Amino acid sequence: MPWTPERYPVAMRRLPPRVRLKAVEIANALLDEGCDEGRAIRIGIAKAKEWSARHADPLAMPHGPGSGPGFDP
For the chain, what are the domain ranges? 16-54
pLDDT at position 56: 77
Question: Can you give the pLDDT of all 73 residues of the chain as single tens digits?
Answer: 689 999 999 999 999 999 999 999 999 999 999 999 999 999 999 999 999 999 876 666 555 555 545 444 4
pLDDT at position 55: 87
Quote the CA–CA distance of 67 and 45 in Å, as a whole number.
28
Q: Could you tell me if 19 and 49 are in contact, meaning their C-beta atoms sit under 8 angstroms apart? A: yes
Global confidence as pTM: 0.76
Range list of H helices, the chain? 17-32, 37-54
